[in-house]
Structure 1
Amino acid sequence: MITTTTRQHTLRGHLPGRHTARAASSVEHQAMLASRLTARDKWLLALLHEHRVLTSFQIQDAAFPSGRSARQRIRDLYLWRAVSRFQPFQQLGSAPMHYVLGPAGAAVLAAEHGLEVKELGYRHDRAMAIAHNQRLAHTIGVNDFFTSLIARTRHTSAGEALAVWWSEARCARHFGDLVIPDGYGRWRTGSGAVVREVEWFLEYDTGTESLTKVGRKLAAYARLAESTGIATPVLVWLPTTRREAGARTALAGVHAGLDNPRAVPVATAAADLLDPTSPHPSPAEAVWLPLTSARHGRAGPRYNLADLADAWPGLAPPAGQGGEDGEGEAGDAAVASPYRLPPPNPIPPRATPNRGARGKH
């Protein structure tokens, strides 16, 4: 039996120190952030602007040594409204917290490039709308693919590095009249005068799309190769080896019918091939099976990402190989312009202590 009524205002406990949207855009708040945001914080803001949403686990993989340090720092950024967050519904268990660029973070990012916030194309409501977007799981999956490569870069000393990571939106601006990849990347190995790079377009499959539709995308990549004169590998990432087998059949049928199949190198891999005992499993492992290796029913060896170009003799190295600017194409200028920021370097700057910031990071 209910004997008393709980007043509504007592249920509205807010997080102490959380700034209002108006305060976050004030001159005073921006001045405060100038003394507290580190180079790594600003890098993270640029990454969120480029790739729309990252989970707490992806942020940890990309930039932090531990979950504790990641949680402490992200909490500060959240309280300062540099980032915003949401937690999607999940049938079993709890989904990780998802983070997007916040209003104060957008103001910092715009100011760094000499722009107004509106020139970023940023609106807080649009940034948060990804929470209800039907492609949220797909976007998170693509970002997981690349952040796992960043984690491998950070935690190995084998001279491997993710040199370039472009978002779907950036790919659409460059290639959208012909095809829209889920992402573009470059993997670099070696150092000094001996440097190798492999570039690729990513097609990330969640298992819900028709395999026939997956195969038909190759015709669009063939038109892109013909238009640019550049043969760029297409990597198809699938959830299971069973799904991969079906996809390879669909891809092989379309690939064989292309006017110039060699202009569209294709390789597939499945997530369940990753070593679960590895501290940092990633698509850099030997999980890639080139489509040409399945000719005449003979399955060839699986390649790691660094050696994948060896599967296609005569494949030209990426233009501008060995650069350190973090850009995938010379045409994507490093100088910002309205609605066109340069792509952030996939590798975060080295962490530096900031006495004005709360928490250790």
Structure 2
Amino acid sequence: MITNPTRQRALRGHKPIRPNPRAANTAEHQAVLAWRLTPRDKWIARMLWEHRVLTAHQITALAFPSFRSGRMRLRELYTWGVVDRFQPFVTVGTAPMHYVLAPAGAAVLAAEDGLDVKEMGYRHDRVFGVAHSLRLAHTVGVNEWFTALVDRARHRRPGEQVALAAWWSETRCAKHFGDLIKPDGYGRWRDGDRQIEWFLEYDFGTEVLAKLAGKLAGYAALAQATGITTPLLVWLPTSRREATARRLLARAWRELDDPRSVPVATAAAELLNPEAAHPSPADEVWLPLDVAASGARRRALSGLVDAWPHVPPPVTTSGEAALGPDSPLPVSPPPLPMPPPAAPRGAGRPGRR
């Protein structure tokens, strides 16, 4: 404004970043990467390919003992052209560095799988397109949700046996079930001898809740087509929005032909204890839809098994390990030890027999 001109000091913005020299993606450079990249580096590359984008904090929580060690290794991977990075604009503070798969990293993954980069489906411009996507915050939020479970398992208490055994991205779920449902993710949590699997609907506070409730019909159709009952977890930002969503979800749930085929539980992010060392969706924040909210006790993620005794436990593959860069199982193309590839439509879901 003429009456209140912007001062020069306010125009400086963020501290300028000195450009780092990066290696060219040549055959010679890929030969050098053969002895430079560790199994953890390749696991991180597969995670980026599966889940599109991860922040520096998420990668650290998934694979490194400290933020400093993760930052140093990610800088090396960036210099070698294995990963790319960008920093979204935020109005307050500074956004964390966001990482995506770079051409050299894609070439390594393609070579491991015996594919050409084009056959793999990798395109650098499309990968970097997530930086300008209107769904960037939602994608990062979903990845943070699952990362919190991995972080909780990595810092389990003595005697605990908890692990995230499966994590499918939105893209992979759409590939397998996109004709009926398009969840934000699929996961499987193991707590001792208990296991629970689920589809995730992650609400960022922007979706029309009536549309969210309308998705139950698709999950019911999938259950009818496969004969498999899979719980649906709905994650919302606030308790107030959760209460509104529960009313709409309950109305749509009762109208299903077989409501028991779609077990639903809701939770709100604000119910997590911010003072806890590692708060996660595994905490006691879940409330089944068929339970009255007033006076009801919230359940832990593994405790939902008791709320739905009619849901059989998932059948795991032999030797299935916890999610992590030290997992003993080689996996391709999924980046994690997961259920086997999906059967033809209508023949059942991965991980069940």
TM range, smaller chain = 0.7 to 0.9
Q: CA deviation at 1:319?
A: 2.6
The structure-2 alpha-carbon separation of the partners of 1:13 and 1:88, relative to structure 1 and needing over 3 Å to count, comes to closer
SS in 1 for 2:266: strand
State the distance in 2 between where 1:175 and 1:228 align. Answer: 11
Distance 1:85 1:154 in 2: 26
Give the corresponding residue for 1:18: 22
Superposed counterparts of 1:14-163, under 5 Å: 14-15=19-20, 17-19=21-23, 23-24=24-25, 26-157=26-157, 158-163=160-165
Give the distance between the partners of 1:321 and 1:29, measured in 2 at CA: 37
Following TM superposition, by how much is the alpha carbon of 1:326 offset from its aligned partner in structure 2, in angstroms? Answer: 6.8
Aligned residue identity for 1:282: S
1:143 partner letter: N
CA distance in structure 2 between the partners assigned to 1:176 and 1:279 by the alignment: 37
Q: Following TM superposition, by how much is the alpha carbon of 1:282 offset from its aligned partner in structure 2, in angstroms?
A: 0.5
Corresponding residue for residue 344 of structure 1: 336
Is 2:307 the counterpart of 1:303?
A: no
Q: Could you tell me whether the CA contact under 8 Å between 1:203 and 1:236 is conserved in 2?
A: yes
TM-score scaled by length of structure 2: 0.86
Aligned residue among 208, 223, 229 for 1:231: 229
Aligned pair count? 315
Tell me which of 264, 276, 279 is aligned to 1:278.
Answer: 276
Shift of 1:113: 1.1
Structure 2 equivalent of residue 330 of structure 1: none
Gap change, CA 1:12 and 1:253, over 3 Å in 2: closer
Q: Which residue matches 2:288?
A: 290
Q: Quick one: distance in 2 between partners of 1:269 and 1:12?
A: 40
- Aligned residue for 1:197, secondary structure, equals strand
**1:122 is matched by which residue type in structure 2?**
Y
The AA in structure 2 aligned to 1:18 is R
- After superposition, the C-alpha distances for 1:152-195 in whole angstroms (9 at most, x for unaligned) are 111114100000000011101111010111000000121xxxx2
Among 199, 202, 205, the alignment partner of 1:207 is: 205
Which amino acid in 2 is paired with 1:54? L
Which fold has the larger relative contact order, with Cα–Cα distance below 8 Å and residues 6 or more apart in sequence?
1
Write out per-residue CA displacement over residues 273-319 of structure 1, whole angstroms, 9 at most, x where no aligned residue.
1111111111000000000112xx65421111111111112111113
Structure 1 unpaired stretches of 5+: 1-10, 328-333, 347-361
Residue 241, structure 1, aligned to residue 239, structure 2: yes
The SS at the match of 1:292 is: coil
1:319 to 304, 315, 319: 315
One-letter code of the match for 1:179?
A: I
TM-score by length of 1: 0.84
Three-state SS of the structure 2 residue aligned to 1:293 is: coil
CA contact (8 A) 1:196 1:321 kept: no
- Code of the residue aligned with 2:312 in structure 1: it is A
Asked whether the equivalents of residues 43 and 335 of structure 2 are also in contact (C-alpha less than 8 Å), the reply is no
Structure 2 unaligned blocks of 5 or more = 1-15, 324-329, 339-353
The Cα of 1:221 is off from its aligned counterpart by: 0.5
**Share of identical aligned residues, percent?**
60
Q: Deviations over 1:90-120 (max 9, x none)?
A: 1111111100001110011111111111111
Show the 5 A alignment for 1:258-273: 258-273=256-271
SS of 1:268 mapped into structure 2: strand
The amino acid across from 1:28 in the alignment is E
Moved more, 115-124 or 258-267: 115-124
Contact 2:50 2:334 in 1 (8 A): no
- Alignment RMSD: 1.8
Q: For residues 190-211 of structure 1, give each alpha carbon's deviation from its aligned partner in whole angstroms, at most 9, with x where no partner exists.
A: 1xxxx22100000000001111
Q: In the alignment, is the contact (CA less than 8 A) between 1:185 and 1:201 conserved in 2?
A: yes
CA drift at 1:250: 0.8
Structure 2 Cα separation of the partners of residues 55 and 12 of structure 1:
18
CA distance in 1, matches of 2:200, 2:260: 18
3-state secondary structure, aligned to 1:302: coil
Q: Distance in 2 between matches of 1:40 and 1:272?
A: 33
